[in-house]
Amino acid sequence: MLLVGAGNSASEIAMELARSRPVLLAGTEIGHVPFRIETRVASVLLLRLVRFVGHRVLTLGTPVGRKLRPKMLHHGDPWIRVKPKDVLAAGVQRVGRVTAVRDGLPVTDDGRTVAVANVIWCTGFHPGFSWIDLPVFDEQGDPMHERGVVSVEPGLYFLGLRFLYAMTSSTIMGAGRDARHVVEAIAAGHGASAHRRLSAAA
């Protein structure tokens, strides 16, 4: 059994499957949270610190946030519950990235052909913007906006995107703040439109 992708889902699925069969996990190491989140110390202190940093420090309003954002947009999240040693202890074998197929079998970036009967793709997902036929995307395919407000196309807004404003933008805590900003922008726009109509009528 080969799992392609080395994110959170793949690591946890690999450990589950390794209880009953040989499992290979393909993909590049993407880092991990360096403490156990289920401990009392982590839940009381460390997670609060992480949330504070992700919500208040790593934002588009800070130099460090602006520097980190491009890297976070196109990379997977670090492992949260699972640590690399947990995966190895479960009997999961790590292999390189799958870059090709040879004779119907996956080939890793070091040229190794992996002889497996089953492959599970855990390579994540990407937003489906194909239905938006407007010039509002950059060279990377990311929406061009300011905290979710698309200035070049009035009436178009985005919410829930990775790092829309902060590292927490795709979480409930961050999406709430972003939604408030978008609603205020919509209300301000309607107010400006009403003012223009009244001025024109006068």
pLDDT of residue 200: 52
Q: Give the pTM.
A: 0.72
**Which of 141, 180, 167 has its CA nearest to residue 61?**
167
pLDDT of residue 193: 52
pLDDT in tens, 154-166: 999 999 999 999 9
Residue 92 contacts residue 86 (beta carbons within 8 Å): no
pLDDT in tens, 48-63: 887 899 899 999 999 9
Secondary structure E strands in 51-200 = 93-95, 98-102, 105-108, 119-121
Lowest mean pLDDT among 42-46, 86-90, 138-142, 146-150: 42-46
Backbone angles phi, psi at 111, to 5 degrees: 85, 5
- How do beta strands 105-108 and 119-121 pair? unpaired
Residue 160 contacts residue 175 (beta carbons within 8 Å): yes
Provide the CA 95 distance to its chain's centre, in angstroms.
23
